[in-house]
Amino acid sequence: MGDAPAKQQLFEQFAAVGKALSNPKRLELLDLLAQGECSVEALAVAAGLGLSTCSANLQTLRTAGLVTTRREKTKVIYSLAGPDVAALFADLRTVAQTHRAETERARIAYLGDGVEELPREELLRRAEAGEVVVLDVRPAQEYAAAHIPGARSIPIDELAGRLAELPTDTEVVAYCRGAYCVFAHQAVRLLRDQGRPARKLADGMLE
């Protein structure tokens, strides 16, 4: 028979990761870090947290091995420990969406419904043919960290004042942080209200 205490210790390591993921704000921080590395200060603003609360949650994620840090002068910069962490977060969302009916109700309450989506494969085909404009509506620093090649950057809070930068006769495909990010939904609704052809990418940078 196996060593029961050793087995218990092993499963405690698994549980430590699960415990770190059990807080909605920590999951939001992982979602933000999936866009690229970021300072504590910027993460606190984006997640709507106080600086000390944000730091405490990040430390919990770091202790669990989910994020890493580096120093840039006086700032501490956080990043995901690896692409497998982003995949874990994406899988967690999929499980919740598949097996918890409450998840779909919460999704609709947050994002709304009725925004037409474009699959990734079709976007690639149409972008290569020059048939669409790909629009990144995340904050500028997230676009700078990583973006779809050829995508234009207009943050969602600037879009209403910068519509003239987009062609009126070409469909716009907006994307943001991921399938559960509200920015692309808001962008498509704004563009359609202005009579512009627009859809959102079915997923986003996390996927």
Output DSSP code: residue 134: E
54 catalytic residue (yes or no): no
Catalytic-labelled residue, pool 38, 54, 176, 181: 176
Beta bridge partners of 38: 78
Buried/exposed 139-151: b ≥16 CB within 10 Å, e otherwise? beebbebebbeeb
Tens-place pLDDT, residues 151-199: 999 999 999 999 999 998 899 999 999 888 999 999 999 999 999 999 9
Categorize the per-residue pLDDT at 1 as very low, low, confident or very high, splitting at 50, 70 and 90.
low
pLDDT at residue 91, rounded to an integer:
96
Cβ neighbors of 153 (< 8 A, separation 6 or more) are: 136, 138, 140, 143, 147
pLDDT at residue 204, rounded to an integer:
77
Length of the chain: 207
Alpha-carbon torsion (36, 54, 27, 183), positive or negative: negative
The two tokens of residue 160 are 């209403």
Tens-place pLDDT, residues 74-114: 999 999 999 999 999 999 999 999 999 999 999 999 998 88
Structural domains in the chain?
A: 4-87 (1.10.10.10), 113-201 (3.40.250.10)
Distance CA(112)–CA(114), nearest Å, equals 7
